[in-house]
Chains A and B, each alone.
Chain A
Amino acid sequence: MTPEEIKQLTDKFKLITLASLETEVAKGALTLQGYIQKQIHAGISPQVLKANLIADLENGGQIFGSLRSAFRKQVAWGVEGAEDSSLKATQGINDDTMEDWVAIADGATCDGCMSNANAGSNPHSYWVSAGLPSAGSNECGDYCRCDLVKSGAYTDEMKLNASTRYEMEKYNASHDKQINFMEAQTRIQK
């Protein structure tokens, strides 16, 4: 591969484009206009009309469904196939899929997320009722930095490493004499 080809590949990879869809927006606007006109002729009150439109927006109905799905598809990844693999990672998840809650192992993790991270493997339905990351059910709310991964993928070794990092950060924040990762690991394993 020539340096120029490598540069082209890198440039293509690194650009994530987030865009609205002019055509879909225009189409959505006309659909919306037509819908409102029909409702006016039918004598529907503005409150009911608004409620119907909100329901359509929330449920991806005939007015906003295509706009919403087109927008999601339009969010582009730089790497060919990366979109597929990221989507594949979330495919195949059903209510019974066992998942672990993974938090960032540092002092800024809220109590709720820490508790979830220590709650072991649970079915996806459990996490949905407990509140998915960023769903706002924990103290961190929209600022949640956690993730759910399929059970087994986040190994015991990774958990130990995360606990070690947390221990190292906690210790070093309150002691003048700093410890390194290996020393923190020894403290954890004691």
Chain B
Amino acid sequence: MSDNPSVAKAGNGRMLEVKNLRISFFTQDEEVKAVNDISYYVDEQEVVAIVGESGCGKSVSQLATIQLLQSPPGKILGGEVLFEGVNLLKYQADSREMQGMRGPKISMIFQEPMTSLNPVFTIGRQLVDVIRAHKDIGEKEAWKLGVESLRVVKIPDPETRMQSYPFEISGGMRQRVLIAFTVACSSKLIIADEPTTALDVTTQSQVMELLLKIVDKNRSSLIIVTHNLGLVSRYANRIYVMYAGQIVESGRSEDLLVRPKHPYTLGLLKSVPTLNAGKEEKLVPIKGSTPNLARLSDKCAFMDRCEYARDICRGSPGPMLRSVGTGHDLRCYIDIKENS
């Protein structure tokens, strides 16, 4: 029942394939439809970006794929998460199979390096614990592997750093330590959730370059979840744009960034301040604000903010995804002629 036409040709070749994922959060009064039937895939050695603003469901969907979702109040209502052909959702969150997934197969880097590391243990301790949780090696060997991982992520003086506590090092370094966890486990798929938001610009650049280098070296794949379109432009092969819990446009980076077809994508591109614009080019904001996910109608979620909305949008239920080019899918009734 996939409504993503490009996925139709899926075989077992895909490293990760998510089909029709639905997640809601249940509070005492209402159901917040955080993720409303999304499907996407990641191939080997690809960098895929999931783009959207806060509240669109991008982070929640990633947490769900590795079953790190807080289960009340969140609940996965349906769908499949196929990693190398195996549906991860059929396992319990804390089962041996899932634990075996997290780390060696899939790892995740979170946004806040401050809170992702346990402040009362040294970095070395945490690194060794993670390594030994996934590899059957002794303490000494794990330690060496830890040091090597730190070296790979370019942390100066790795042996000494193993003894440091998280609060003794900077935010950028902490983020690198998190990447070191990934390196140590040689994950095949890395999910980076807003990996650069808490960092300085020059550090952001270093961290991203590092991540890419590792992905390249290990032949892994990378999912970047972000609202930073620049990041996406520089690093991603393919992009999924999310709005109000759905994917509204997806395709190759070039297609989406140069010839976007969804009004939201177009709106985002026009409203983001960019370095090389002339001063006369005014920012064109998207009017209004994001909808309340507890009160979604069955019509297009973007309609009230859309400049291109027409009668067909108001009269019909929300559009389905349709193909508008090779690998380019769109959830919209309108064909925008204008190019950005």
A binds B: no
